[in-house]
Structure 1
Amino acid sequence: MKAAVLKKLGEAPVYEEFPDPVIANDQQEIITIKSASVKNLDKARAAGTHYSGYKQLPAVAGIDGVGLLADGTPVYAQGVSGTLAEKAVINKGQYIKLPEGIDADTAAALPNAVIGSAMALQFRAKIKQGSTVLVNGATGVTGIIAVQLAKYYGAGTVIATGRNARQLEKAKELGADHIISLLQEDAEVITQIKSIHQQTHIDYVIDYLWGRPAAMLLEALQGAGVNYVSDKVTIVTVGAMAGDLLPLSSGTLRSSDIEILGSGFGSLSSRQFQQFNTSLLPEAFQLVAEKKLHLEVDVVPLEDIQNAWNKPVSPGKRLVVKVS
């Protein structure tokens, strides 16, 4: 079969022939791959910088994908073997059937973005109807999905921040009530957040940036003096695109009812991941099929994988490899 074959850690996989995958027991089956996305996790594993990296090379890259079962049923599944290939091994029954009306490329790109948005909103923030949600870093793939899902889950007001003007306007088209450019001076960003916070209390922050943008948020949300009584603000950090550290004053936490949580593999339970697979992700697939949830992709054919692997992807889009 043709596949994206990783020969050396730190190098892009190459398009070439590779032996067909073989099932190891009767609890596995073969899937014919249609499309598979390339995510930061895929690249980190290929670079040898992730703990779940490859133990033996050469190997087929890719951790999940969309394809057809033997009976032609279209599904999304995580691979036992690499998924950037014409065929892959998956565990029997551990897949999600795709609804009619969804294309394979978009379906392949969606799961990672839903993990980073729906899990944070539902399980960590525990979003409530009518609440106000600020998505910090709403111009990336996952941030754009978070804006849309926050509205779908019942947020009354959604605020989107980011550096890309086009993507901020896109966020507004898709449901954001306020947009704030992080290209402005820090003082102006803080002033705008404070102004909105005074008008409609910000209940939840879903943060993909951390670093300086998160520090500005904390400054904007902190208390205003000895007679100030605040309502709770829950900040959920999902990523650290702007830096892994930020200064945190004890006074900031003592002056406000601010709760800081993380959302990632280590902070979510097996029960919550089961709910993701049985409820949240199937629901998101259905929303895409009904054109109620929007995601943009950059699609390349499998034979172009080596050139596409390290090329910058368009802002707000996920790289998807079309296999067949």
Structure 2
Amino acid sequence: MKAIVMFQKGGIPKYVENFPEPEINNEEQLIMTVQAAAIKHLDKSSASGTHYSTEGDLSTAKVIGGDGVGFLEDGTKVFALGITGMMAEKAVIEKSRMIILPDGIDLAVAAALPNAVAGSAMALRYRAEIKAGDTVLINGATGFTGRIAVQLARHYGAEKIIATGRNEQSLHYLLGLGVDEVISIRQDDESFVARLKEIHKATPIDAVVDYLWGHPAELILEAIKGHGNFTHRTNYVTVGSMAGDKIQLSSEILRSVDLHLTGSGMGSWTKQQMKVLISEIIPEMLQLAAEGKLKVDVQTVPIEEIEKIWEMRVEDGKRLVVSIKN
């Protein structure tokens, strides 16, 4: 079968035309004919062995891709998490970890959306504990998941949404997705902090969902620092680290503000929360996308071109999706 295979960690995956088809091992597994699979930061870091979830894996040849969309034997269209790699014509999936797709949804959109929903909805609902009327800051909102987070924050009832990012054009685009104010992180630190302090004083920030971490996180935490008075509670949730994996955090900040600092990722969710993600949250968002109520931008490439596009820079706010013609 056609497949995208990683032979050595740190290399570029290869397109293979005759990779062995996977086989099911028990009654809870099914074979899915894959039609599309998104290339995500998680897939790239997992394939290279740099993601924390891959520590200890052996450097053996394997099909990459953790999820995708396709057809079951009876023709049912589904999104599923893969037991075997999903960037191939066939993949093994579990019955309990698949979602039937709504009518009318584009398969590339269906492949691109679920990971971004996990990276935004779980942070907003379970870590930020967003509620109607909240003021929410999305740090790094110009990326694909950041754009989804903006839309879901409004869907979950946020009254005011602030978005930060580097790309001025992408920041402007966010205003059309419901963002109330955009702040460029390309400006000098003093101006960035001063503007956030003004916002926080006028409409206290209830939640921060952060896809950048690094220095921008240090600036945000400085902006919400207290000055000896009672402070507004802020739930700060780190989801990604595109601007750096480590920060310097002053003890003074933690002592001066009612701050709840936490993270959202695979290891931080409970089994029950994961069940809700699969059974309720992702299906709801797929339905919204099918109805045109959720904006999802994708760029598709055929599976045969993987070696050409693996390290290609994708336009801000878009997700690259591999299309597989069986």
TM over 0.5, shorter chain: yes
Q: How many residues align?
A: 322
Alignment of 1:226-245 (within 5 A): 226=228, 228-245=229-246
Q: Give the residue type in structure 2 aligned to 1:72.
A: G
Q: CA–CA distance in 2 between the matches of 1:124 and 1:2?
A: 40
Q: Give the residue type in structure 1 aligned to 2:283.
A: P
Q: CA–CA distance in 1 between the matches of 2:308 and 2:7?
A: 15
Q: Give the residue type in structure 2 aligned to 1:12.
A: I
Q: Is 1:171 matched up with 2:154?
A: no
**Aligned-pair distance for 1:56?**
6.1
Render the CA deviation track for 1:251-286: whole Å, top value 9, x for unaligned.
212222122111112221111011100111111101
- Please, what is the CA RMSD of the aligned residues? 1.4
Q: CA–CA distance in 2 between the matches of 1:48 and 1:209?
A: 21
Bigger shift: residues 42-51 or 187-196: 42-51
Corresponding position of 2:11: 11
Q: CA–CA distance in 2 between the matches of 1:208 and 1:3?
A: 31
Q: 2:144 aligns with which of 141, 146, 150?
A: 141
Q: Give the residue type in structure 1 aligned to 2:45.
A: A
Structure 1 unmatched runs, 5+: none
Q: CA–CA distance in 2 between the matches of 1:127 and 1:93?
A: 28
**Aligned-pair distance for 1:25?**
2.3
Q: 1:93 to 1:254 in 2, by over 3 A?
A: closer
Q: Normalization by structure 1: what TM-score?
A: 0.96
Q: CA–CA distance in 1 between the matches of 2:262 and 2:87?
A: 34
Q: 1:52 aligns with which of 31, 46, 54?
A: 54
**Aligned-pair distance for 1:296?**
1.2
Q: CA–CA distance in 2 between the matches of 1:207 and 1:188?
A: 19
Query: 2:138, 2:210 within 8 Å by CA — same for their partners in 1?
Result: yes
Alignment of 1:198-213 (within 5 A): 198-213=201-216
Q: List structure 1 runs of 4+ shifted beyond 4 angstroms.
A: none
Render the CA deviation track for 1:51-94: whole Å, top value 9, x for unaligned.
43754633211111000111111100011111111111111343
Identity of aligned residues (%): 51
Query: 2:7, 2:59 within 8 Å by CA — same for their partners in 1?
Result: no
Q: Give the residue type in structure 2 aligned to 1:155.
A: A
Corresponding position of 2:32: 31
Alignment of 1:212-223 (within 5 A): 212-223=215-226
Structure 2 unmatched runs, 5+: none
SS at 1:116 equivalent:
helix
Alignment of 1:311-322 (within 5 A): 311-322=312-323
Q: CA–CA distance in 1 between the matches of 2:20 and 2:248?
A: 51
Q: Is 1:103 matched up with 2:106?
A: yes
SS at 1:92 equivalent:
strand
Q: CA–CA distance in 1 between the matches of 2:24 and 2:260?
A: 47
Bigger shift: residues 257-266 or 48-57: 48-57
Q: CA–CA distance in 2 between the matches of 1:57 and 1:213?
A: 38
Q: Normalization by structure 2: what TM-score?
A: 0.95
Q: CA–CA distance in 1 between the matches of 2:208 and 2:3?
A: 40
Q: Is 1:262 matched up with 2:274?
A: no
Bigger shift: residues 133-142 or 261-270: 261-270
